[in-house]
Structure 1
Amino acid sequence: MTDTILIRTAEPGDIDTIIQFIRDLADYEKLAHAVNTDRDTLARYLFGPRPMAEVLIAERQGDAIGFALFFHNFSTFEGRPGLYLEDLFVRPEARGAGAGKALLVRLAQLAVERDCARLEWSVLDWNEPAIAVYRAIGAVPMDEWTIQRLDGASLQALARS
């Protein structure tokens, strides 16, 4: 058998696998306490009448070994859409075989096919293995930009104001 990595688009039947990848990623990032998603909600936003995100699955010998969850954003300066990679995760036992890079290659292909101006993502500053991969493929940090987040009670309060 070959160790070829196959990248495919996720289907509704993959929802449990996607949730497990999300949990595994949260464990890796020491954020398991922050996972609030459930099967029905995730299925609605990934595969419902108005999908909000898409997922790619990396497989080796028929086993799901990684995933990438992404969605479109828009650059007003470019006047074109972009792709934002929310999560990329490869199971620890499968790392080093090229699945992460294969997922990034497919994302880049989708960005080009869809006339996107850019592919962007965030990485935790302590995740040196991931940062090394990103530098190797030519990604550059956006040092002058800081992510801002509004959620929970603060989001609700602003919405009510």
Structure 2
Amino acid sequence: MKNITTRLATLDDIDQLAALFDAYRQFYELPQDLALARQYILDRMLGNESVLILAEDETGAPAGFCQMYPTFCSLAAAPIYALYDLFVAPEARKFGAGRALMLAAEAHALRNGAVRLDLTTAKTNLPAQCLYTGLGWKRDDIFYAYSKTLAA
């Protein structure tokens, strides 16, 4: 049984995070691009634009990560976090890494005055949906999510 711990990631973790982020992107059927993954994570860290939490097993090997972006809710007139990325390495699944990351994200958001966490997931990602509902998250059945791709 793997003992999973979580902690806030630092710049010293960039290579581990880049590998996990690249695998996460591949999970969503994007091409492998470790250089892009590394640069994206590095830019977020250097700009203090996101919070990255790293999960590790008892040997210190990376098990997964989550990335949250601080933002605001106008209606609540309060800060919230958008939990945008959550990934557990295939070999670390079923050991509680996803749950540990979600609980660490919640604790961080509470410590920093957030009143809510938001996330979206693929309709086909049933294991993640079970995790979220098991942790007390409520699926929004009232609002539709829209997006529009803009030309670069």
TM-score, length-normalised on structure 1?
Answer: 0.84
Deviation at 1:36, TM superposition (A): 8.4
Relative contact order (C-alpha < 8 Å, sep 6+): which is higher?
2
Question: Who is 1:45 aligned against?
Answer: 44
Question: Who is 1:108 aligned against?
Answer: 106
In 1: Cα distance, 2:71 partner to 2:24 partner: 23
Answer yes or no: is 1:8 the counterpart of 2:15: no
Q: Which runs of 5+ in 2 are unaligned?
A: none
In 2: Cα distance, 1:71 partner to 1:138 partner: 21
Is the radius of gyration larger for structure 1 or structure 2?
1
- Kept in 1: contact 2:21–2:37 (CA 8 A): no
In 1: Cα distance, 2:14 partner to 2:105 partner: 20
Deviation at 1:51, TM superposition (A): 1.4
Deviation at 1:76, TM superposition (A): 1.1
Answer yes or no: is 1:122 the counterpart of 2:120: yes
Give the aligned residue type for 1:56. Answer: I
Cα 1:36–1:64, aligned 2, differ >3 Å: closer, same or farther?
Answer: closer
Question: Who is 1:159 aligned against?
Answer: none
- C-alpha distance after superposition, 1:43-85 (max 9, x if no partner): 1221x2x311121000002111100011111011111101111
- Counterpart secondary structure, 2:109: helix
In 2: Cα distance, 1:41 partner to 1:23 partner: 10
State percent identity of aligned pairs.
26
Give the aligned residue type for 1:23. Answer: D
Cα 1:54–1:90, aligned 2, differ >3 Å: closer, same or farther?
Answer: same
Give the aligned residue type for 2:28. Answer: E
Cα 1:35–1:117, aligned 2, differ >3 Å: closer, same or farther?
Answer: farther
In 2: Cα distance, 1:27 partner to 1:34 partner: 9
Give the aligned residue type for 1:37. Answer: L
Question: Who is 2:53 aligned against?
Answer: 56
Deviation at 1:30, TM superposition (A): 2.0
- Counterpart secondary structure, 1:149: coil
2:94 pairs, out of 93, 96, 116, with 96
Give the aligned residue type for 1:77. Answer: L
TM-score, length-normalised on structure 2?
Answer: 0.88
- C-alpha distance after superposition, 1:125-155 (max 9, x if no partner): 00011111111111111122222223341xx
Give the aligned residue type for 1:10. Answer: A
Answer yes or no: is 1:31 the counterpart of 2:27: no
Question: Who is 1:70 aligned against?
Answer: 68
Give the aligned residue type for 2:57. Answer: R
